[in-house]
Structures are given as C-alpha cells and as structure tokens.
C-alpha cells in the first residue's frame, strides 16, 4: 500500500493514517523514549512489547499515526537521515463518551521531531479528521505544566482552548505538577481562521 492510498488525511509535509500492527514496534519505541510525562496513560511504566498492543488499545477509539511525506529537512538531530514514510508520532483518541459527545486525545511526538512544526500540522489534520469522521462535539487533551509550552502555538493559533488546570494533579518523581486541560470544539475548529489559512496553503500546494 502506498502512502497516498493509506492516507486518512494528508497535509503538506505529513499524513495521518490508521495504525497498523506493523507500526507497533515504532510506536513502542516512541513511547519508551518520550519521557515520564507522556507515560501517564501507562501510569509511569510502558509495558513490554508483548503486552504493548493491549495497553495501547485500552479505552481507545482510534490511533492515527503521523507519517512524514517526501523529503523533509526538519528532522532533528540529523537532517541528512530523512526518509519519506517515517512515523514521527501518533494521535490517540481515547475515553470517548458518545452520550456526551466528547472524548480525549493525546499527541505523542518522537523526541527527534519535536519543535519542528510537523506535529502541529498533524494536530490540524486530526482536527479535520475528528470533525469529518466522528459525531463528537469536543475533544480534550491533558498537558503537564512543563509540557505546556509545546502547546502554546496550537493555543495561539486557536486550535486549542485552555480550559483550566487541575492543580498538583500528578507527582512526577515525587514533585506535584499541575495538569492543564485543553479543548477543541468542533464548531471552533470548523470556523477557525487558522483552519481556513491551513487549507488555503494546502490547496495552493496541490495546484
């Protein structure tokens, strides 16, 4: 299957597609290297590969992997080692409450692709995917205090609304940390100027 046919949504530099069993090794590798904060869903311990699939899919509705398209020079720390088809992270839709019309999602980026803007594009693509493929009205994401700067641009761009912070909600290595709750509303995203700009650029690229 080519990247094009596998794509669920395609951006300028990345595409999102549903996870396949052949992705689990890479997702496990990402999960075991991203650090404590993202391990919250595993309660601080990523299970071994033999138990990983069940843990990954617990309370999960969809896993969309983010794949790099074409040559890209934004990869860190070694721009020369870039290849199309690299899985650079994933978006995880979980704890969906169909009755209420909301759910939670997590964005996990491989450490070498952080601060490249690639996962921000994946966020925008995911926004389109959830609006087009689910009836959910709101999606929420948790962000730890020291991880919040990574979401600043998405908040500034109107993708996320900052809904508040659960003070001292978790202890990381014994130190209490606030957990921020970020939200995306379907109505906000579909009418967002950021989304309009994003699609104008995509259309321009396709022409």
Partner 1 sequence: MDDSIGDTATTQTDTASWRFAEPSDAGFLYDLAVALDPRIWRFSKHGTAPFRALETVGEYEIIAVLEQPDSGPFGFAGLVDLTGDGRCAQLDLHTAPVPGAADAARSVITEVLDAAFANGQIQHLYIERFDDDPDLIGHLDAFRLEVEIPEFAFVGGRLASRLTYGLSRDEYLTWFDTR
- Which residues in this chain contact partner 1 in the complex, by CB under 8 A? 43, 97, 99-102, 137-138, 140, 163-171, 176, 181, 183, 185
Q: At closest approach, how far in Å is the CB of 155 from partner 1?
A: 15
**Cα distance between residue 172 and residue 37, in whole Å:** 8
* Tally of helices (H runs) and strands (E runs) in the chain: 7, 8
Shorter beta-carbon distance to partner 1: residue 100 or 196: 100
Shorter beta-carbon distance to partner 1: residue 111 or 168: 168
Shorter beta-carbon distance to partner 1: residue 93 or 125: 93
In the block, which residue shows the tokens 């689910």? 134
195: tokens are 């989304």
Q: At closest approach, how far in Å is the CB of 168 from partner 1?
A: 5
Q: At closest approach, how far in Å is the CB of 98 from partner 1?
A: 10
CB 87 within 8 A of CB 69: no
Q: At closest approach, how far in Å is the CB of 164 from partner 1?
A: 3
SS3 67: strand
CB 105 within 8 A of CB 94: yes
User: CB within 8 A of 18, min separation 6: which ones?
Assistant: 8, 62, 63, 64, 65
Q: At closest approach, how far in Å is the CB of 171 from partner 1?
A: 6
Shorter beta-carbon distance to partner 1: residue 138 or 198: 138
């Amino acid at each position: 299957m080519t990247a094009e046919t596998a794509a669920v949504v395609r951006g300028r530099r990345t595409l999102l597609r549903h996870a396949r069993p052949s992705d689990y090794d890479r997702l496990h590798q990402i999960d075991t290297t991203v650090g404590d904060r993202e391990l919250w869903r595993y309660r601080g311990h990523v299970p071994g590969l033999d138990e990983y699939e069940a843990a990954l899919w617990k309370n999960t509705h969809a896993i969309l992997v983010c794949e790099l398209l074409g040559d890209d020079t934004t990869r860190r720390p070694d721009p020369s080692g870039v290849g199309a088809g690299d899985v650079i992270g994933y978006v995880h839709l979980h704890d969906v409450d169909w009755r209420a019309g909301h759910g939670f999602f997590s964005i996990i980026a491989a450490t070498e692709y952080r601060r490249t803007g690639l996962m921000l594009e994946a966020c925008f693509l995911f926004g389109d995917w959830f609006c087009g493929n689910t009836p959910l009205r709101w999606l929420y994401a948790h962000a730890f205090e020291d991880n919040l700067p990574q979401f600043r641009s998405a908040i500034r761009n109107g993708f996320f609304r900052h809904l508040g912070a659960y003070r001292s909600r978790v202890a990381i290595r014994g130190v209490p940390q606030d957990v921020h709750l970020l939200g995306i509303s379907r109505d906000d995203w579909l009418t967002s100027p950021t989304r309009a700009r994003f699609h104008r650029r995509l259309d321009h690229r396709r022409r």
